[in-house]
Amino acid sequence: MSELKSHKDLRVWHKAIELVTAVYQLTQCLHKAEQYGLISQLQRAAVSVPTNIAEGNGRGTRKDYARFIDIARGSASEVETLLIIVVKLGLASPGNAAQAQELTNDVGRMLTGLAASLSKEGFEEEGQAEIT
């Protein structure tokens, strides 16, 4: 086990920041008519992932932390769905969306691991967990 002092110590937070960057890069290429539709929703959902990880880590209890990780997982699922929609509508090619899709899958798996770690009996309130 390693002690976590900050959300910035979590690999999943760093990977979620990469996801935000990939989503913003992808949305720069989308048609401006989607600025207040899919682009905005996709960007907000992506930003929600690392911000909920950070907020959950900053909470005082394991229960609160787990709740925010669940919200981050939901946001990652929303990003995944929006990326599929963007490709299906022909707004982005599968190749252009591939990096964001891969990062979304990675973050989702990592959040599932963090959620499982938080549910273990041995997790200490002070922020200790094995993170994969």
For the chain, give every domain's residue range: 2-119
Residue type, 28: Q
CA-wise closest residue to 65 among 26, 28, 119: 119
Global confidence as pTM? 0.86
Task: Say which CATH class 2-119 falls into.
Answer: mainly alpha
pLDDT tens by residue, the chain, 132 residues? 345 578 988 999 999 999 999 999 999 988 888 777 999 999 999 999 999 999 999 987 899 999 999 999 999 999 999 999 999 999 999 999 999 999 999 999 999 999 999 887 545 444 444 343
